[in-house]
Amino acid sequence: MLSGEGSKTRLTKHPTVTILVTDMAANSQFSMAVHILTLLARGGEDKVKSECIAGSVNTNPVVIRRILSQLGHAGLVTSQTGATGGTRLAKRPEEISLCAIYKAVSCGEVFALHPRGVNQDCPVGRGIESVLCNIQKEIDKAVGDRLGQYTLATVLEMIEPAFA
């Protein structure tokens, strides 16, 4: 950190760093969401507190609550606040596809297009965005199709040997 400058100033001066940090956080949200939902599935009908989930995921409960909020908006979990509160699955594990989880926490496409646009006077610049946009759509569809082949129940079956 530069002398006399706070982190906000430093991040404003280096927007590329901010973008990279945001993308890395978004990429880990899917794996954390699958971890959270798998933990809830193992809990059955019991409500699980965010502090307990955070201990398993090895992160701050605030991060867990943020992801739980996204999963709740997608109808994958139900949460109750208060001393007797907690979170549990809103559907059976067989009814929750990994694609639904991905869509619930997805913060963008696989790659980002140039943030400031391109030079339309350049022959490459004129065509590159539409080409990359079409490739991005194909990749998103392939990812969705592949994740749609798995459910939360599948994940539970795959990690079951770890419980033995």
What one-letter code names the amino acid at 138? E
What one-letter code names the amino acid at 29? Q
Please give the pLDDT value at position 16: 41
75: alpha, beta or left? (left if phi > 0; alpha if psi -120 to 50): left
Cut 0.85: pTM above it:
no
Classify residue 159: in a domain, yes or no: yes
Classify residue 1: in a domain, yes or no: no
Q: At 117, phi and psi to the nearest 5?
A: 80, -175
Classify residue 2: in a domain, yes or no: no
pLDDT tens, N- to C-terminus, the chain (164 residues): 344 444 333 343 444 433 333 444 456 899 999 999 999 999 889 999 999 999 999 999 999 999 999 999 999 999 998 888 999 999 999 999 999 999 999 766 677 777 777 788 888 888 888 898 899 889 888 999 999 999 999 999 999 877 66
Classify residue 71: in a domain, yes or no: yes
Please give the pLDDT value at position 123: 86
Classify residue 68: in a domain, yes or no: yes
Please give the pLDDT value at position 162: 72
* Nearest to 54, CA basis, from 39, 42, 69: 39
Please give the pLDDT value at position 160: 82
Classify residue 83: in a domain, yes or no: yes
What one-letter code names the amino acid at 140? D
Print the domain residue range for 30: 7-163
Q: What is the CATH number of the domain that holds 59?
A: 1.10.10.10
Distance CA(8)–CA(13), nearest Å, equals: 9
Domain count, the chain: 1
